[in-house]
Amino acid sequence: MLHTLELSTASRDEMRDITREIISLVHQSGVKEGTVLIYCPHTTAGIAINENADPDVRHDVLLRLDEVYPWEHPKYRHAEGNTASHLKSITCGPSQTVIITEGELLLGRWQGIYFCEFDGPRRRQYHVKIMEG
């Protein structure tokens, strides 16, 4: 089962918790054993799994990515001016796969699934593929 979801981001860099949306789709699917693939088709955004208990973690991750990949750099050549967004996306990655067991996502106690925006605000899509087996 393939689902395409949309969201609007509010800032240039943002980690949006999409865990509830993924859980809901898995429950609706009726799949008890399998996997779910969450995929981002954008070159300046990505999907990550990380802590979802303390919002300071998201802040700290985005802060450090800005330090590693500053928005402006004298050697950047990309004409659109968003090279940092591409670098952050490459670092984050475009997808995550999560095991489904007994009809639930097999996430750690503190883990959540995030849509990571690095070139917002924008209207974005991501795809969720639920596979039985």
- Tens-place pLDDT, residues 32-53: 999 999 999 999 999 999 999 9
What pLDDT is stored for residue 22 in this prediction?
98
Assign 87 a pLDDT band (cuts: 50, 70, 90): very high
What pLDDT is stored for residue 23 in this prediction?
98
Domains identified in the chain and CATH numbers:
2-132 (2.60.120.460)
pTM: 0.95
- Tens-place pLDDT, residues 51-83: 999 999 999 999 999 999 999 999 999 999 999
What pLDDT is stored for residue 124 in this prediction?
98
CB 45 within 8 A of CB 90: no
Across 76-105, average pLDDT: 96
The secondary structure of 41-101 as a DSSP string is --TTEEEEEEE-S-HHHHHHHHHHHHHHS-S--TT---TTS-HHHHHHHHHH-SEEEEEEE
What pLDDT is stored for residue 103 in this prediction?
98
